[in-house]
Amino acid sequence: AQSVTQLDSHVSVSEGTPVLLRCNYSSSYSPSLFWYVQHPNKGLQLLLKYTSAATLVKGINGFEAEFKKSETSFHLTKPSAHMSDAAEYFCVVSDKDNRLAFGKGNQVVVIP
Amino acid sequence: DAGVTQSPTHLIKTRGQHVTLRCSPISGHKSVSWYQQVLGQGPQFIFQYYEKEERGRGNFPDRFSARQFPNYSSELNVNALLLGDSALYLCASSQEAPMNTEAFFGQGTRLTVV
């Protein structure tokens, strides 16, 4: 079975500083990996996805993530945090039938 | 184009009651999945339907059931509600047979069981 580990349930960053959200996955085969963002009272929105193409994946709003098979990691980064980045972020692994397994999430707070 | 729509957006039920949640996928999408998101946790997979057939079921009791209609809309039913069923229920649709295609999520139905 696929699973995802997200440490640091709450992350505080200052506006304009880098954001780093860590994700490690477990999968019995080559996984598809995603990062989703959830703003308060809004649905889940896809930030980016990795599906065995380039290991460095660029997403929306300046986010990117790097797939490292040797470390079973898929960390999410952004060079400069914006106030609008305050939200909950989920790392997700997909099984072969596209059933999604979510991590517990990172609640990001951006300090002005 | 309309996204994934879910109804109702909020509802309150009493323990022991039954509830039906509804989901309309994006036009052209044939796969619908349901997820339960308890406060403070990530969503958990409940069901997946494709072309009106159940393709997968998560670790949920038999009180949970679902179906998909010929127009690809879907219903999630929960019987004998428990306080622990209080959660945000999310529906996701995707375009093709489940093969790592992007899932688009609705805004969810917030269920409160009292």
Q: What is the pLDDT of residues A11-20, one digit of tens each?
A: 999 999 999 9
Is position A98 within any domain?
no
User: Which of B45, B55, B90 has the CB atom closest to A44's CB atom?
Assistant: B90
Is position A34 within any domain?
yes
Range of the domain at B51: 5-113
Is position A68 within any domain?
yes
pLDDT digits (tens, 9 = 90+) for A42-85: 889 999 999 877 889 999 999 999 999 999 999 999 999 999 99
Please indicate whether, in this complex, the C-beta atoms of A100 and B35 are within 8 angstroms of each other.
yes
By CA distance, what is B58's nearest residue in A? A99
The whole-number pLDDT of residue B97 equals 60
Range of the domain at A50: 3-91+103-111
Please indicate whether, in this complex, the C-beta atoms of B100 and A94 are within 8 angstroms of each other.
yes
Structural domain count, chain A: 1
The whole-number pLDDT of residue B95 equals 82
The whole-number pLDDT of residue B32 equals 94
Please indicate whether, in this complex, the C-beta atoms of B42 and A90 are within 8 angstroms of each other.
yes
Q: What is the CATH number of the domain that holds B24?
A: 2.60.40.10
Is position A96 within any domain?
no
Structural domain count, chain B: 1
Q: What is the CATH number of the domain that holds A66?
A: 2.60.40.10
Q: Provide DSSP, chain A.
A: --EEE---SEEEEETTS-EEE--EEE-SS--EEEEEEE-TTS-EEEEEEESSS-SEEE-GGG-EEEEETTTTEEEEEESS--GGG-EEEEEEEE-TT--EEE---EEEEEE-
Q: Determine the distance in angstroms separating the CA of A15 from the nearest CA of chain B, rounded to an integer.
A: 24
